[in-house]
Amino acid sequence: MTAPAFIAAVFLLLLTPGPTNTLLAVAGGSAGFRRSLHLIAAEAAGYLLTIVPLATFAGPYLAAHPIAASAIKLCSAIWVLLLAARLWTISPAGIGAPLVTFRQVFITTVLNPKALIIGLVLLPHGSLQAMLPWLGLFLMIVLTVACLWLSSGAALIGRANGEFPPLLRRIAASLLLCFSAGLAGSSLGLI
């Protein structure tokens, strides 16, 4: 794959709404753009933790063991379901705490099916040294797209008196529930 094709494919894939992007938009809307910038490091670390092993050695294993790949998807579905439940049921006492944490973005990204596509399909396979330029390009795209999601959350959702509106929290939780159902259905062969 050429560098321009890689950039276009990764950019479009990462721009697609999903669990990590939903969390970034919620963070931008609830805490503001600047106070959410640290979450980009969580996303980048989560992707690297998944895609580097996939591109270097796990790809052939998962291809030979589809049950393992399905188990990973099912774990992802369960995690996203837990995030949705937390976002839906947050108590008024917990409103002052961040709605989205570094840990949540990191784990969600590690379990994100987009990482499987990037690590198994888009990223050239081989040694870590050969992948470094591609990983550099990838990280620049992650930074760009994450900033877009944070800023769109901050701009579209905004901050109403320093609080994230409950209706928008529930809409975001509903989106996460849909993502979870899709992942679970895919892992069980239902969709």
Tens digit of each residue's pLDDT (9 = 90 or more) over 77-133: 888 788 888 878 876 555 556 789 999 999 999 988 889 889 888 888 888 898 999
pLDDT at 159: 55
pLDDT at 21: 92
pTM for this entry: 0.79
CA atoms within 13 A on the CB side of 173: 17
CA gap 140, 135 in Å, rounded: 9
CA gap 173, 171 in Å, rounded: 5
CA gap 36, 102 in Å, rounded: 9
Angle CA 117–52–64, to nearest 5:
60
**Which pair of tokens denotes residue 110?**
């590690």
Contact 8, 169 (CB under 8 A): no
Tens digit of each residue's pLDDT (9 = 90 or more) over 124-175: 888 889 899 999 999 999 999 999 999 998 887 765 555 567 777 788 788 8
pLDDT at 94: 54
